[in-house]
Amino acid sequence: MSGRFAARLVVSISGADVGRRISLRRRLPTGEYSDVVGVLESWSGGILTVRRRNGELVEVPEKIMVAAKVVPQQPPARRRRPAKDD
């Protein structure tokens, strides 16, 4: 058995997913891959615009997108419990 891992990369989003949270994998000019997770703000003229949770807008040409899917909304931040006084 080979020790290599093979994954099937699938783009399962469309322009109808604007406004939804997505996870997108893109291929960089170096040949490496980079992921972008956030809300799909727009998909126009072959460019996807994704807003990350820190507010940064990332523009991704659709021709370098190798995989993408809709993901659940980020859960709300957990409240910290007050420290116990012993």
Average pLDDT over residues 65-72: 96
The pair of three-digit structure tokens given for residue 74, joined into one six-digit string: 């980020």
Portion of the chain with pLDDT greater than 90, in percent: 73
Query: If you search the block for the tokens 């126009």, which residue do you land on?
Result: 44
Average pLDDT over residues 50-77: 93
DSSP bridge partners of 65: 26
Which pTM was predicted? 0.78
